[in-house]
Each structure stands twice: as structure tokens, then as C-alpha cells.
Chains A and B, each alone.
Chain A
Amino acid sequence: NAGVTQTPKFQVLKTGQSMTLQCAQDMNHEYMSWYRQDPGMGLRLIHYSVGAGITDQGEVPNGYNVSRSTTEDFPLRLLSAAPSQTSVYFCASSYGGFSNQPQHFGDGTRLSIL
């Protein structure tokens, strides 16, 4: 099993460009989530999904869209990139509820917005 796979690993964008960060898991997990990690601020939840077709907002959802058409994939879209979105983005999945099941994280996408 590959676990949680994130692509790309690195990306540089110009302000105003759009892009999709990909996340795929092969563990048949129902729960998936996206976090951003900024220096000195730990990880903050952007959006999450409790199953195909179901998504909800986390702590910092503005500027990001998500969809969940399959159990395996949970892409994160930046509609119009801004320098404040420069960060490391992590995708995670878990078998059951986020609060009582371990989350499995990908290795991150490092995104720079110029």
C-alpha cells in the first residue's frame, strides 16, 4: 500500500493563478482532510470529508475549494492564488472519525505564491 500520496511535492505559482493539489489514498478510508502548516502556527484544518460526496469547512477554508467524487481522491483547489497561501499543505485520511482514529498523513506539497 502506498498510503496517502500527494502531488506535486513542490509548486511555485504567480498571484492570481489557479491550481489543484492532488491527494489519493489506497486504504479505503472514509475520512479525508486537508491542512496547511505555517511556521510557528502548527497545522490548521482547511476542509474535510466524511465520505464521497460530503465535504465541510475547517478552521481556515477561505480561498480553497474541495470535492470528493470518489473514496480514494480528495483534491484541493486554489481558485486565485494569493501570497498568504504560501504554505506546506498536508492531506490526511482515517478509517473512522477524526477524533478517535489515527490519521495517516501524506508528505506534503510545498507551495510558494509569488
Chain B
Amino acid sequence: LAKTTQPISMDSYEGQEVNITCSHNNIATNDYITWYQQFPSQGPRFIIQGYKTKVTNEVASLFIPADRKSSTLSLPRVSLSDTAVYYCLVGDKNTDKLIFGTGTRLQVFP
């Protein structure tokens, strides 16, 4: 299966903007790109989803270039409570299976 890769970890300070990128070279043509947040001992929680260009909701923005081979989750003005692991989820065009990214551990410092 094609890999969906993310940076292993990122550090930030409260109030800064954080951008996390996911590389998905083999994304299925009709599938959306979805991002999840996971805290320790909990299941992943939906953050945002998009197909192309830019999507924004009350907690994040998602930027998707025209070729859709990557996506960037943007968290504006992070707080300590944003410390978590972030995963992207895309469909693989060869297997038609959903593949989670490798996950990015975000640590926010005061």
C-alpha cells in the first residue's frame, strides 16, 4: 500500500499558528481528505474534511493543492489543549482502502 506520510512531531507555543502537512501521492480520485485529532486513551476525533482548495471551520483550516497529493492542516492560535496527535486519512487509488497517515505529535508549550 502507498504510504501516507506526516512529520513525526512538531513543537509550538501558545498563540502561534501551526501547519501540519500530509503527503498522499496515491490518493483516490473521488475521495475526500479528512483530519482527526487524538488524545491519549481516546479514539480519534474529527477535525475537518475537504476535497480541494481550502476549507475552514471553527477550529481549523485545510489547504489542498490542485494535484491533491498533499494537504495542510492549519491550527490558528494553538493552546495547551491542542497538544495531541493529528492524523490525516485518505483513500488509496489502487486498493480503494482508506489509509491513515503516520500521525504527527503536536506539543504546545506555554
Interface residues of A (CB under 8 A from B): 4, 35, 41-45, 58-59, 90, 92, 98-100, 102-108
Contacts and interface: CB of A to CB of B under 8 A. Distances in A.
Given A99-B32, A106-B43, A108-B41, A42 B97 contact: no
- Among B45, B90, B98, B99, chain A packs the most CB atoms within 10 A around the CB of B98
B46 A102 contact: yes
Nearest to B87: A42
Contacts of B72: none
Contacts of A58: 97
A48 B31 CA distance: 17
Contacts of B102: 41-42
A90 B44 contact: yes
Contacts of B103: 42
22 contacts: A41-B102, A42-B101, A42-B103, A43-B44, A43-B87, A45-B97, A59-B1, A59-B97, A59-B99, A90-B43, A90-B44, A98-B98, A99-B31, A99-B32, A99-B34, A103-B36, A103-B46, A105-B44, A105-B45, A106-B43, A108-B41, A108-B43
